[in-house]
Structures are given as structure tokens and as C-alpha cells.
Structure 1
Amino acid sequence: MKPVIAMPSDQLIEVNPRMPGDYPAYAPHDVKEAVMKAGGIPIIIPFPDDERTAAHWAKEMAPLYDGLLLPGGPDIDPRLFGQQPIKEIGMTYIAKDLFEIALIKETLAAGKPILGLCHGLQILNVALGGTVYQDIHTQNPDAYIQHTQATIGNFLTHTVDIKEGTVLHELMGSSQEINSRHHQAAWKVAPGLVVSATAPDGVIEGLESRDSDQIVAVQWHPENLFNKYPDQFTVFTNFIDRVNKAKKGS
């Protein structure tokens, strides 16, 4: 049987006077397509509105899937890493953050693989004890690249350098051109994670587990690139391979 891949939902916060509280939950279309093409069965895992129940529902839902894919999403609530919000921060949704953190912990405890994309990389880092820049260009004076691209999402905008000895290096080699649409990024790296890729200005573009291949995460959006650039698809095929390997070992 193909592995089941869970994707935590995002949520459109829109006012509909005819249907108050009718906020669609969704996951990115291109991520779903990449998972299916790579050989997985994607399912959307909704988060509870009551943030106090995040840990409970994560424990209930974790047995339903074989691997966890954390896609892009809103900014991360800075209270989760001991900061107050600066004026440049965007929309946050702490109920989603807390649920994803709880899912991450349940998934890791169960020995199941994780793939993080953009927001997914950032929430992984926070869940494991790291921090993020609330806004790169406000808090990092050395960041000279425009990381929030103004062009179409499947266009390449800058390069990343990939470190030898990492899973990402095995998949993509020492350098890649990527797309880029984020204004937050990992800052202090969590214990147990290592940096696998950086932009030319030093901004972190990849993180993964220090002593295993359980976690692989990238700051860009390979789901928008995989149909045109085969190297980008390896992020998803590797994820499904890791999930299948973990299933066989369980």
C-alpha cells in the first residue's frame, strides 16, 4: 500500500455574512500533486480552533499517517520563541502553530519522517527549540538578497549553496537555483538540526536532522518547480523513500 502523507491544513480567514465562521481549510495544490506523483497518498489534517486541544488532537491524528509534510503558511507567532511581535511581522495563527508543533513532536516520537517547506522549515526549527527572524531585512543587516520575490512563483530568483555530507547535497549537489517567497527565516538553529543550505547572504535555506535522515526541510518551494526542474522533484521522491523505509522498519 502506498504511504499516507499528512499535510496540516491552512485556513482562509474571510468574512462571509451569509455563512459566518465558514472558513475553508486547505493544503497547497502543487504540494498535493508532488506527493501523488512521488508515490504517496496525501491527506489534509485540520487543526482545532481551540489551541488548548492541540496536543490532544495531534496525538489522536498521528497514527493515521506514515509521514508528515509541513507546507508553506503564515508567519509564526513570536511568543512561541520568547519574543514580542515587531511591526514588520505578517499574519500569524497560533492555533495552527501549536497544532503543528504538537504534530512534529508526535511524529518524531513515532520515528516517522518529516519534510518541511518554507513555513514548514521554520516551524520545525521553533518546535525543536530554535528561533526565526520575524522579518529578515529588519533583523538581519547582512541579508542583501530579496527573499520575497515579486515574480511568478515557479520562476528561479537566486542560488543556494548546499553543504557536503547532507541529504540535500546527495539529492541536488553543491548548488541550486531556487524560487523564494519568504520574509521570515530560521535564525538560531535548534539543537539536533544542522544547516544544509544557505543563500549567498547567509540566510538559512535548508535544515535537516543532525544524526539521521528523519527531518529534511528547505526554505524554498520545490512544489512549484518539480515539473520543470527534475532536481527539485528529488525532495519529494526522497521523502517517500524515507517514509517507505521507516514503514518497513516499524
Structure 2
Amino acid sequence: MKFVKPIIAITADSLPKPSPVINENVAPFAPRELVEGILAAGGMPIILPFPQDPSEAEEAAQAAVALFDGVVIPGGPDIDPTLFGEEPIPQIGRTNYERDAYELALIKAAALQHKPQLGICRGIQIINVAFGGTLYQDLGTQDPDCHIQHSQKAPGQFPTHHITTTPGSQINAIVGAKQKVNSRHHQAVRTVAAAFKATATAPDGVIEAIELQQGDDILAVQWHPENMWQRDPAALALFQDLVARADQRKKA
């Protein structure tokens, strides 16, 4: 019997400006290091572009979910705060409502079919919003306890602050009790969705990982393992865990 690798989808971002190579505006893309991380973990990556008409998001998500065994919701622009009941504050960055609409629909469709998910940076935030949680639109102005640098000046592949994980949690089993991670965000989980629990925090209390209260279908982290897996076994382990979960569901 021929071995077939689990198919791991990556939701695409889009270029906000015309590409210098093919001069195509809003071309869909995924970070190369993320694609290679999935390959290194034994998965077969595919990229899912979002429809430019948000009214088509649910239909597109339903069609896409049949194509993959697991999915990564990666980093990207800020999330439209009207999706969690707030108006945008002056400090919010660029948003993309079309991507928001598609990822919300895809996260819910994948959850209904128990397709394993891994959220990265923006991914933890949109997953939390998908299930009814809220976000800090800007940590520096909205979280009085935030006192470490969450938008690092160091190169992205360098870890810059520590996280502590909850004993007995899914993330604890994957990366251990304490890790040093990279950090490129100014938004973060504020109120955790009821279906989830926070299982890793930064030294100032900022939530760094969430996972389901029941089951292991969805795990999300605030840092960027795709930039670190080449030199950090714990970062690679996050992709290996996703591929292993996807393979289990595929064979079930």
C-alpha cells in the first residue's frame, strides 16, 4: 500500500500591492518557512486562497474542508474588531475583512468535521474570535499589565521572551514547561472563548496558547514556530504534532 502524507492546508494572505514579478495585486501567498516546516514534519502543504467576496466565504470554506486532513491558520494583518463587538481604535493596524470572513467560516467548518487545526499568531486570535472570544486591539494601550516587548526588534528567527505552559496541557506535552519564543504582535487574546482554556502565558500574563477544554482538535499559539523550527526542536514539534493528529484522523 502506498503511503500518502497527510494534507495540511494553509490559509493564504494576499499581497496588498502589485507583485514586482508578475504585477498581480492581491496575489495569495503563504510564508515559505511555514510550507517547509510542514514538509519537514511529514505533511503535504496546500494553500487556500480566500474569495474576494465575503458573501462567498462560507461556501468556499465548505468546499475546501474536504480537501485537507489538517489546517494551519497563520499570521497576518490585524483582525476587524467589529467581529468581536468593538469599533476600531486609532492604534489598530491594517485589517482584511475578506480574509477574516473566510477564516472564520473555515475554522468552524473544520471544527465540525474534527479536522486538526494549528493557529499561529493571528491564528490564535481569529480562532478565539470564531468561538466567541475577544481580543486586545493593541496591547500597549489596552493592557495595563503588558510590560515586555511583544513586537520584537530582533530578527524573526530569534526567540526573545519566555513563556510558561500549564502542567498536563497539550502545549506542555509538546514544548515543555518553559520555552523562549519569538514575538511579533500587538494584538492578543483578551477574553478566552468558553470552549477553550489558556495554557501558556508570557511573564506579563499575555496569553500565548489556547486549546480546547475537551479534545485535541484545535491548538493555537501566539508566537511564530515557522521562523524557528530549523534550529528549535520545540518549534518543529508543533508541526509534527499537527501532522500526527491529522494522520490519526485520516486513518480513523
Q: TM-score, normalised to structure 1's length? A: 0.96
Q: Distance in 2 between matches of 1:169 and 1:157?
A: 19
Contact 2:15-2:25 at 8 Å conserved across structures:
no
Deviates more, 1:20-29 or 1:143-152: 20-29
1:129 aligned to 2:154?
A: no
Q: Structure 1's 21 and 237: CA in aligned 2 closer, same or farther, altered over 3 A?
A: closer
Give the C-alpha shift of residue 196 in structure 1.
1.1
Q: Structure 1's 119 and 16: CA in aligned 2 closer, same or farther, altered over 3 A?
A: closer
Give the C-alpha shift of residue 48 in structure 1.
0.4
Q: Which blocks of at least 5 consecutive residues in structure 1 are unaligned?
A: none
Give the C-alpha shift of residue 50 in structure 1.
0.4
Q: 1:33 aligns with which of 31, 36, 44?
A: 36
Q: What is residue 249 of structure 2 aligned with on the other side?
A: 246
Q: Distance in 2 between matches of 1:46 and 1:69?
A: 13
1:23 aligned to 2:30?
A: no
Q: What is residue 107 of structure 2 aligned with on the other side?
A: 104
Contact 2:19-2:27 at 8 Å conserved across structures:
no
Q: 1:71 aligns with which of 69, 74, 88?
A: 74
Q: SS of the counterpart of 2:179?
A: strand
Deviations 1:99-134 (A, max 9, x none): 000000110111110001000110000001001110
Q: How does 1:155-166 map to 2 (within 5 A)?
A: 155-166=158-169
Give the C-alpha shift of residue 16 in structure 1.
7.4
Runs of 4+ in 1 over 2 A off after TM superposition: 19-23
1:197 aligned to 2:200?
A: yes
Q: 2:60 aligns with which of 57, 60, 68?
A: 57
Give the C-alpha shift of residue 13 in structure 1.
1.1
1:141 aligned to 2:144?
A: yes
Give the C-alpha shift of residue 61 in structure 1.
1.2
Q: Distance in 2 between matches of 1:31 and 1:25?
A: 15
Give the C-alpha shift of residue 149 in structure 1.
0.2
Equivalent AA in structure 2 for residue 167 of structure 1? Q
Give the C-alpha shift of residue 22 in structure 1.
2.9
Q: Distance in 2 between matches of 1:131 and 1:99?
A: 18
Q: Distance in 2 between matches of 1:71 and 1:204?
A: 17
Q: What is residue 230 of structure 2 aligned with on the other side?
A: 227
1:5 aligned to 2:8?
A: yes
Q: Distance in 1 between matches of 2:16 and 2:121?
A: 20
Q: Distance in 2 between matches of 1:115 and 1:49?
A: 24
Give the C-alpha shift of residue 208 in structure 1.
0.7
Equivalent AA in structure 2 for residue 67 of structure 1? G
Q: Distance in 1 between matches of 2:203 and 2:215?
A: 26
